Amino acid sequence: MAGFRSVPAEPVIVQALRGSRPERLPVWFMRQAGRSLPEYRATRAGTAMLDACLTPELAAEITLQPVRRHGVDAAVFFSDIVVPLKLAGVDVEIVPGRGPVFGRPVRDAADLADLVAHDLPDDAFAPIEEAVARTVAELGPDVPLLGFAGAPFTLAAYVVEGGPSKDHLRARTLMHADPEAWRTLTEHLARVSGAFLRAQVRAGASAVQLFDSWVGSLSEADYRTHVLPASAATLAEVPEVPRIHFGTGTPHLLPALRDAGADAIGVDHRIPLDAASALLGGDVPVQGNIDPALLGAPWPVLEAHLEAVAAAGRAAPAHVLNLGHGVPPETDPGVLTRIVEWAHGR
């Protein structure tokens, strides 16, 4: 056997995202690095969210915590969708209990010109690349790192409102009232998020997920006309790795999300994975979709739900087990560990 070297197998999550069904059901959790973990709360204590994101040793440590604790099949880079805007010098902070708040919401042409003028210098992503490189070195070859960015619509919803909002009315009004300004805004945000993804992939991320959390507030027609081109441009920046596209409230948008050029689609708890896979044409790997509300139910109830999710996931060419949305902060982390054990023990 001298001279014979086996090629190391791709990590199970990457196999699944590329459309083949690996030997075991891969699992990770959106927002697995976060407030549900006591070690996260200890690490973060006294540090503002965006400062933690931009301090490489902190971001790496927080990214690694859930891998150590739960044994998930992937790390997801600890960051926030507004990080690339912050790196471009935009006045944005994350207010605890509220979310991103912008000093100058985009309400008119001057605001828009000001935002777009905040360009990203070549070395803007240095702290991100350092954090990613540290993380990847610690993870080793078996556990991949997933990169992370916000999609242009969800970012625009924050930027136009100036903060979180319920129906993203102001952003959706701008989209129709001034489609030209809207295009300028979303093309800019696509560049910013695309550069953020590129930096993470350059530094070692094995796959990425584009978060369009609020996209479910759009009709399919509005999505295709006013949003899809910018999301497609973002995803097109990292063709060399598998790209997951995720939103909530999307039963009516799944084919459109696929058409933005993703390799896999994240599905929330509103629609079973077999129905989602059928809407997607039957040939797209799916990710999801444990209902976060079930994390607080007794284990036999949750386990029956996991069985149903895994069974429905077999309708797709491949399935990555995940929640339908981020880990709620009040989640008992022991439940997440048990879900990983369940997935790996099948």
Q: Which two tokens stand for residue 35?
A: 């407030």
Peptide bond into 289 cis (omega under 30): yes
Stretch that binds a copy of itself, among 43-51, 115-123, 134-142, 172-180 (CB under 8 A): 172-180
* Residue in 69, 73, 134, 158 annotated catalytic: 158
Q: Specify the 3-state DSSP secondary structure of 116.
A: helix
Q: Where are the beta strands (DSSP E) in the chain?
A: 75-76, 92-95, 99-102, 145-150, 207-211, 243-246, 264-266, 286-290, 319-323
Q: Is 305 in the site for a copy of itself (CB under 8 A)?
A: yes
Q: Which of 147, 118, 143 is CA-nearest to residue 131? A: 147
Residue 269 as a binder of a copy of itself (CB under 8 A): the answer is: yes
Q: Is 329 in the site for a copy of itself (CB under 8 A)?
A: no
Closest CA to 280 of 261, 265, 260: 265
Tell me the C-alpha to C-alpha distance, in Å, between residue 327 and each of 37, 67, 76, 332: 10, 14, 13, 10
Q: Is 188 in the site for a copy of itself (CB under 8 A)?
A: no
Which residues inside 211-240 make contact with a copy of itself, applying CB under 8 A?
216-221
Q: In this chain, which of 105, 291, 314, 337 binds a copy of itself, going by CB under 8 A?
A: 291
String of DSSP letters for 17-72 = HTT---SS--B--TT-SSTT-HHHHHHHTT--HHHHHT-HHHHHHHHHHHHHHH--
Please report whether residue 267 would count as binding a copy of itself according to CB under 8 A.
no
Number of residues that bind a copy of itself (CB under 8 A): 34
Q: How far is the CB of 94 from a copy of itself (least distance, A)?
A: 17
Q: Does position 258 bind a copy of itself by CB under 8 A?
A: no
The single residue of 18, 21, 35, 338 carrying the catalytic annotation is: 35
270 assigned ligand-binding residue: no
| Least CB distance to a copy of itself at residue 11 (A) | 31
Stretch that binds a copy of itself, among 122-130, 154-162, 202-210, 266-274 (CB under 8 A): 266-274
- Token duo for residue 244: 């997951």
DSSP lists the bridge partners of residue 93 as: 101
Tell me if residue 40 is catalytic. Answer: no
Q: Is 44 a catalytic residue?
A: yes
Return residues touching a copy of itself (CB under 8 A).
Answer: 167-170, 172-173, 175-177, 216-221, 249, 251-252, 269-272, 291-298, 301, 305, 325, 328
Cite the active site residues.
31, 35, 44, 80, 158
